[in-house]
């Protein structure tokens, strides 16, 4: 697909989602559908889709250790193993995995090769901005989602309240400013601008790259609008969300249509999630290049589905040609007497003569 077409298609798609959400919010008769039915359906698609994807990955055969390694594998005792880069035990794999998941270590180590035309020098440069913004994006998303638990749990658990007070520590104005929401929007903005600005990123970007970014940016933007600009009836929202959580749905009147846009965007995100690149959330745990041990020097891994190949071993070869080998004066491993067959014995005698 043409580079700009990918962007335009995604913009049209996100525009359509916003319009449908707005209609759902503006037409009171549709509130039960957009406030209850669609959220439940989206949640069901998310959960079932997620399980289906993970099971499909789990079923894929992985006959060999194909861990991505960047260090010395465990081999002879006097050769120092790099336990982090080339883990050979399950715990070492867990250590590496934790650093990957919590700190995006491989992204931190990502470098880009560039050839400077002026002096013809080849250099490897750090790509730390991508790492920093990716971290900011994922952590702010996590914090925002955790803070939203206050809508679904009653009483609000202490950790959620604590998280809220840490996130709002700047205490700017009323309602207090939640930093994570703005960090989320800023980080999505960076990821989007990077795709559009860097020519080779633009070249490889598809609607499936832009759409999730637009979706998450729109969720954050409508959330921020609801909190700081168009105040929504949070009590009504909580009634609705607690109803959903307790399987006792109620649809209160008077909630601003912006809330329905926000909610519909979230539903689309949930339903889209299992079929999109966002599934790397589950995929990271299932990735054989990350979750396997680099132990191919310690153990011989035999492909369990090798089909039986008809082989002809040296023993069988010698058994077949022993007479002629002896005749030709070639060395044999077993003398005819040892091999035990009558023919062999006869031929040995023949040759002795
Ligand atoms: C992927 C999930 C979601 C994301 C990323 C998200 C993001 C945000 C953000 C960034 C804000 C701005 C204020 C803040 O930082 O807290 C916000 C506010 C809000 N969100 Fe969400 N949201 C999500 C899911 C939901 C859901 C499922 C609901 C309810 C069903 C909801 C209801 C609200 C409401 C009512 C506000 C205004 C809060 C206030 O005025 O204090 N959000 N959201």
pLDDT digit string, tens, across residues 206-255 = 999 999 999 999 999 999 999 999 989 999 999 999 999 999 999 999 99
114-128, 180-194, 240-254: the lowest-pLDDT one = 114-128
State the first-to-last Cα distance of the chain, in angstroms, to the nearest integer. 83
If residue 186 lies in a helix (H) or strand (E), which one and from where to where?
helix 179-197
Average pLDDT of the chain? 91
Question: Hey, which of 148, 160, 219 would you mutate to test ligand 1's pocket, going by the most ligand atoms within 8 Å of its Cβ?
Answer: 148
Residues with beta carbon inside 6 Å of ligand 1?
141, 144-145, 147-148, 151, 175, 178, 180-181, 184, 219-220, 223-224, 226-227, 232, 234, 237, 241, 259, 262-263, 266, 269
- What does the pLDDT read at residue 173? 67
Distance of CA 92 to the CA centre of its chain: 20
What does the alpha-carbon distance between residue 215 and residue 209 come to, in Å, rounded to a whole number? Answer: 11
Domain-embedded: residue 331 = yes
Indicate if 212 and 339 belong to the same structural domain.
no
- What does the pLDDT read at residue 118? 82
Identify the CATH number of the domain in which residue 160 sits.
1.20.950.20
Domain-embedded: residue 116 = yes
Indicate if 282 and 321 belong to the same structural domain.
no
Closest CA relative to residue 274, chosen from 68, 1, 55, 61: 55
* Contact partners, residue 97, CB within 8 Å, separation at least 6: 284, 285, 290, 291
* Contact partners, residue 122, CB within 8 Å, separation at least 6: 113, 114, 115, 116
Indicate if 326 and 285 belong to the same structural domain.
no
Q: In three state form, how does the secondary structure of 273-335 look?
A: HHHCHHHHHHHHHHCHHHHCCCCCCCCCCCCCCCCCCCCCCHHHHHHHHHHHHHHCCCCCCCC
What are 269-310's pLDDT values in tens digits? 999 999 999 999 999 999 999 999 999 888 888 887 888 888
Ligand 1 centre distance from Cα of residue 58 (Å): 33
Indicate if 342 and 202 belong to the same structural domain.
no
Cβ proximity of 50 and 282 under 8 Å = yes
Indicate if 67 and 140 belong to the same structural domain.
yes
Indicate if 104 and 245 belong to the same structural domain.
yes
Indicate if 328 and 270 belong to the same structural domain.
no
Nearest CA to ligand 1 atom 28: 263
Question: Hey, which of 179, 222, 227, 276 would you mutate to test ligand 1's pocket, going by the most ligand atoms within 8 Å of its Cβ?
Answer: 227
Indicate if 227 and 84 belong to the same structural domain.
yes
Indicate if 244 and 341 belong to the same structural domain.
no
Domain-embedded: residue 128 = yes
Query: CB atoms < 10 A from the CB of 56, how many?
Result: 10
Indicate if 46 and 164 belong to the same structural domain.
yes
pTM: 0.85
Query: CB atoms < 10 A from the CB of 12, how many?
Result: 11
- What does the pLDDT read at residue 340? 56
Nearest CA to ligand 1 atom 43: 223
Indicate if 341 and 211 belong to the same structural domain.
no
Indicate if 215 and 344 belong to the same structural domain.
no
Domain-embedded: residue 232 = yes
Domain-embedded: residue 307 = no
94 — pLDDT class (breaks 50, 70, 90): very high
- What does the pLDDT read at residue 18? 98
Nearest CA to ligand 1 atom 14: 181
For residue 75, the enclosing domain spans 3-291
If residue 126 lies in a helix (H) or strand (E), which one and from where to where?
strand 122-126
35 pLDDT more than 90: yes
DSSP state of 198: S
Which token pair is 210? 């832009």
- What does the pLDDT read at residue 45? 98
What are 4-23's pLDDT values in tens digits? 899 999 999 999 999 999 99
- What does the pLDDT read at residue 121? 86
Q: Number of structural domains, the chain?
A: 2
Which token pair is 191? 């990821």
Cβ proximity of 67 and 293 under 8 Å = yes
82 pLDDT more than 70: yes
Domain-embedded: residue 319 = yes
* Average pLDDT score over residue span 185-205: 94
């Amino acid at each position: 697909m043409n580079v700009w077409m990918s962007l335009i298609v995604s913009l049209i798609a996100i525009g359509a989602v916003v319009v449908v959400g707005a209609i759902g919010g503006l037409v009171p008769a549709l509130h039960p559908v957009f406030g209850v039915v669609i959220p439940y359906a989206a949640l069901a698609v998310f959960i079932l889709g997620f399980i289906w994807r993970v099971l499909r990955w789990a079923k894929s055969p992985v006959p060999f250790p194909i861990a991505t390694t960047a260090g010395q594998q465990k081999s002879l005792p006097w050769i120092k193993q790099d336990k982090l880069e080339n883990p050979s035990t399950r715990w070492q794999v867990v250590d590496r995995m934790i650093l990957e998941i919590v700190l995006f270590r491989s992204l931190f180590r990502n470098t880009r090769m560039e050839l400077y035309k002026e002096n013809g020098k080849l250099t490897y440069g750090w790509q730390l901005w991508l790492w920093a913004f990716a971290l900011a994006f994922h952590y702010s998303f996590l914090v925002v989602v955790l803070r939203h638990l206050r809508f679904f749990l009653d009483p609000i658990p202490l950790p959620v309240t604590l998280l809220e007070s840490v996130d709002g520590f700047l205490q700017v104005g009323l309602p207090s400013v939640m930093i994570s929401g703005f960090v989320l929007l800023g980080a999505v903005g960076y990821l989007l601008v990077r795709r559009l600005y860097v020519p080779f990123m633009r070249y490889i970007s598809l609607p499936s790259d832009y759409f999730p970014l637009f979706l998450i940016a729109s969720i954050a933007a409508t959330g921020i609008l609801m909190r700081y600009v168009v105040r929504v009836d949070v009590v009504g929202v909580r009634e609705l969300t607690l109803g959903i959580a307790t399987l006792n749905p109620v649809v209160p009147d008077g909630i601003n249509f912006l809330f329905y846009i926000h909610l519909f965007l979230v539903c689309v995100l949930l339903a889209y999630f299992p079929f999109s690149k966002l599934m790397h959330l589950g995929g990271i745990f299932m990735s054989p290049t990350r979750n396997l041990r680099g132990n191919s020097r310690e153990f011989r891994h035999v492909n369990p589905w090798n089909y039986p190949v008809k082989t002809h071993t040296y023993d069988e070869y010698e058994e077949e040609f022993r007479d002629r080998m002896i005749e030709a004066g070639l060395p044999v491993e077993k003398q005819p007497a040892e091999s035990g067959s009558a023919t062999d014995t006869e031929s040995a005698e023949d040759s002795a003569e």
